[in-house]
Amino acid sequence: MSLKRYEFWFITGSQHLYGPETLKQVEEHSKIIAQGLNDSSSIPCSVVFKPVVTTPDQITEIVKEANYNDNCLGIITWMHTFSPSKMWINGLTLLQKPYCHLHTQFNRCIPNEGIDMDFMNLNQAAHGDREHGFIAARLRMPRKVIVGYWEDEDVHTKLGSWMRSAVGVKVSKNLKVMRFGDNMRQVAVTEGDKVEAQIKLGWQVNTTAVGDLVEEINKVTEAQVDALMEEYKKKYDIATDNIASVRYQAKLEIAMKKMLDEAGCGAYTNTFEDLHGMEQLPGLASQRLMEAGYGYGGEGDWKVSALTHIMKQMGEGLEGGSAFMEDYTYDLTKGNELSLGAHMLEVCPTLAADKPRIEVHPLGIGGKADPARLVFEGRPGKAIVVSLVDMGGRLRMIVQDVEAVKPIYEMPNLPVARVMWKPLPDLKTGAECWILAGGAHHTVFSYAITAEQMQDFAEMMDIEFVHITKDTTVEGLKQLLFLQDIAWKLK
């Protein structure tokens, strides 16, 4: 897997009091643990053993190296023995990478006959890791604490999951977003402070003239379009006679991809209010680019576009997709209330239950020619929806757990891809909480990424996090929002 190119440094702390013999054993055990984690199929990135640190200078040095190394996405610390943690203050205060404290032990069980004071002195993570945990708490450091035996699957899964959040940090800090046109006129929730977003999340969000895109569209050759049409025929059912419309979308795909790649952009936005010189709103073209991993946001929504790209990268190699989504309309059948998600055109085919169909239909908005789009149903399964809103002075991430279902109607006249889900704890409470928290109509919908991963990501990025779960109540959420609002104003 290509995420293996990313490293997490396994750093074991100790001190000189133990003497060289014990320190040698500490090192041997650490190597075995690092190798064991690295070999686990549940751990997507590389775990790299680093020599045991026993002095403040060594700790500071390794943290500085981790900060500087582009392939190192984070550190994993473990105190096999006792490492007085005032030694860690200077190093940890410099740390700029995600930080996981693995609270484990080399031996699973206490050897009944074998335990003596030597064994106790070597295997003392139970108190060594408490000393280490205190200093991170004292320094108010965001970090993940994972507890359990290092060979256990649940520990690997937790560590692997956290690593994907750190991959999100890496992607986020290097992300460029291309905006074709501005935000949809008068819309509030898709607006935001791009300077603040760059300070907190690293996103470079800049505009590009639609006229430049039109020039690129005009440069696309018929041969290029022919080649892409062959790919469309293989991957999708072409359920239209309007091949000219499909070919125009192929042109859009080729032109936009070229511009994104040349500028090093992983995400983009457009708006139906600014398509000057274009014949159609990109539909199929945007769906194809999302399928290839680019982030997209409709109506100029650069926040959801960037987040879509980041979550796609976090989920690399996992089952299920992550996609730009919009709460569109409800089915309020009593006791089985559901949300129908879709967009005007742009729903990512990584969510599709079956082979998507290419169809061409009129679009009542934007005043352009009938655009080709992929039509399909989403898969049933557990998922989350994620929204990022600008609260003025800070960003708030809202995550809601949802259960996607097979759409309960066929909806033969609905000309767009559709996903249907039940927001937790139920639509009425869930929507009330979502609206109270200020969650947008645009979200990233993901089968692949968990709420815990988004919470870890939010912590690493130092942004506010709100989670609506099966256990959320309106009263509890109101209190949480009230307290968090005060806390974030004080921060």
Residues found near Mn ion in the complex (CB under 5 A): 298-299, 326
Closest approach, Cβ 170 to Mn ion, in A, equals 28
Closest approach, Cβ 376 to Mn ion, in A, equals 18
CA 212-213-214 angle, to 5 degrees, is 90
Which strand (E) or helix (H) includes residue 228?
A: helix 222-235
In the block, residue with structure tokens 């650069």: 302
Instruction: Name the residue with the smallest CB distance to Mn ion.
Output: 298
Query: Which CB sits closer to Mn ion, 298 or 378?
Result: 298
For the stretch 58-64, contacts whose Cβ atoms lie closer than 8 Å and that sit 24 or more positions apart, written own/partner, are 59/13, 59/87, 59/88, 59/90, 59/91, 59/92, 60/90, 60/91, 60/94, 61/91, 62/9, 62/11, 62/91, 63/91, 63/92, 63/94, 63/95, 64/94
Query: Which CB sits closer to Mn ion, 95 or 386?
Result: 386
Neighbours of 451 (CB within 10 A): 17
The answer for 2, left when phi > 0, alpha when psi is -120 to 50, beta otherwise, is: alpha
- Cα(178)–Cα(81) distance, integer angstroms: 50
Closest approach, Cβ 344 to Mn ion, in A, equals 7
Closest approach, Cβ 287 to Mn ion, in A, equals 14
Query: Which CB sits closer to Mn ion, 114 or 364?
Result: 364
Query: Which CB sits closer to Mn ion, 299 or 370?
Result: 299
Closest approach, Cβ 315 to Mn ion, in A, equals 22
Query: Which CB sits closer to Mn ion, 172 or 190?
Result: 190
Query: Which CB sits closer to Mn ion, 298 or 341?
Result: 298
Query: Which CB sits closer to Mn ion, 170 or 442?
Result: 442
Q: Is the dihedral of CA 107, 112, 115, 120 positive or negative?
A: positive
State whether residue 205 is helix, strand or coil: strand
What share of residues in the chain are helix, strand, coil (percent, to 5)? Answer: 45, 25, 35
Query: Which CB sits closer to Mn ion, 129 or 326?
Result: 326
Residue-level length of the chain = 491
Closest approach, Cβ 137 to Mn ion, in A, equals 42
Query: Which CB sits closer to Mn ion, 299 or 390?
Result: 299
3-state SS track over 336-399? CCEEEEECCCCCCHHHECCCCEEEECCCCCCCCCCCEEEECEECCEEEEEEEEEECCCCEEEEE
Closest approach, Cβ 387 to Mn ion, in A, equals 12
- Cα(165)–Cα(325) distance, integer angstroms: 21
> Buried b vs exposed e over 246-283: b needs ≥16 C-beta within 10 Å?
bbbbbbbbbbbbbbbeeeebbbbbbbbbbbeebbbbbb
Closest approach, Cβ 343 to Mn ion, in A, equals 6
Closest CA to 295 of 243, 251, 319, 260: 260
Query: Which CB sits closer to Mn ion, 417 or 477?
Result: 417
Query: Which CB sits closer to Mn ion, 104 or 183?
Result: 183
Contacts of 281 (CB under 8 A, 6+ apart): 270, 272, 275, 344, 345, 363, 366, 368, 371
Query: Which CB sits closer to Mn ion, 299 or 401?
Result: 299
- Cα(201)–Cα(171) distance, integer angstroms: 10
Closest approach, Cβ 437 to Mn ion, in A, equals 19
Closest approach, Cβ 53 to Mn ion, in A, equals 51
Closest approach, Cβ 271 to Mn ion, in A, equals 10
Closest approach, Cβ 299 to Mn ion, in A, equals 5
Burial class of residue 436 in the structure, from the number of CB atoms within 10 Å of its CB (0-12 exposed, 13-18 middle, 19+ buried)? middle
